[in-house]
Homo-oligomer: A and B are copies of this chain.
Amino acid sequence: MNSSLNLLNIACIGCGVIGAGWIARFIENGVNVSIFDPGPKAELNVKRTLENAETAYANLTSIPRIKKGTISFKKSINEAVKNVDLIIESVPERVDIKQKVYSEIEQYCDKSTLITSSTSGIMPSELQKNLKSPDRFYVGHPFNPVYLLPLVEIVGGRNTSKATISRAKSIYKQIGMHPVHIKKEIDAFVADRLLEAIWRESLWLIKDGICTTAELDDIVRFGFGLRYAQMGVFDTYRVAGGDAGMRHFMAQFGPCLKWPWTKLMNVPEFNAELVELISSQSDEQSGHLNIREMERLRDSNLIEILKGLKKNNWGAGKNLRDYEASLKAFNDKNTSTTNMESNTIKTLKTRVPSDWVDYNGHMNEARYLDCFCEATDQFMKIIGCDADYVKKGGSYFTVETHIRHMAETKIGESLSIETQLISGTGKKMHLFHTMRNSSNVITATGEHMLIHVSLKTRSASEPSSNILKNLSTIFNRHSKLPWPKGLGNAINNPKPDQSFKE
Contact = CB atoms under 8 A, between A and B. Distances in A.
Interface in A329-369: 355, 359-361, 364-367, 369
Most buried by B among A243, A276, A316, A489: A489
A441 interface: no
Contacts of A276: 247
A466 interface: no
Nearest to A205: B190
A180 B222 contact: yes
A149 B223 contact: yes
A224 B191 contact: yes
Interface string A263-294: 01101101000111011011101100001001
A126 interface: no
Contacts of A217: 231-235
Interface string A174-190: 00001010111011111
A449 B492 contact: yes
Interface of A is mostly: helix
A253 to B, nearest CB: 8
Chain A interface category by residue count: 35 or more
B265 A222 contact: no
A316 B226 CA distance: 8
B261 A196 contact: yes
Most buried by B among A203, A309, A496: A309
B216 A221 contact: no
Given A220-B228, A401-B365, A246 B360 contact: no
A47 interface: no
Interface in A230-267: 230-236, 238-243, 245-247, 250-251, 253-258, 260-262, 264-265, 267
A500 B484 CA distance: 9
Interface in A355-401: 355, 359-361, 364-367, 369-370, 373, 387, 390, 395, 397-401
A214 B231 CA distance: 10
A198 interface: yes
Copies of this chain, complex-wide, total 2
A129 B200 CA distance: 32
Interface string A190-208: 1111111111111111001
A213 interface: yes
A108 B221 CA distance: 39
A414 interface: no
A215 interface: yes
A144 interface: yes
Given A178-B218, A366-B366, A490-B490, A230 B193 contact: no
Contacts of A199: 233, 253
A150 B490 contact: no
A388 B311 CA distance: 34
Given A260-B200, A262-B188, A360-B455, A301 B279 contact: no
Given A217-B231, A373-B366, A270 B247 contact: no
A494 interface: yes
A447 interface: yes
A488 interface: yes
A222 B312 contact: no
Most buried by B among A198, A220, A254: A220
A275 B251 contact: yes
A233 B246 contact: no
Interface stretch (A65-73, A109-117, A402-410): A402-410
A294 B239 contact: yes
Nearest to A408: B458
13 contacts: A194-B220, A196-B261, A197-B197, A197-B201, A200-B257, A200-B264, A229-B301, A301-B308, A301-B312, A305-B308, A360-B395, A448-B491, A485-B502
A210 interface: yes
B225 A229 contact: yes
Given A121-B261, A254-B275, A228 B219 contact: no
A307 B304 CA distance: 8
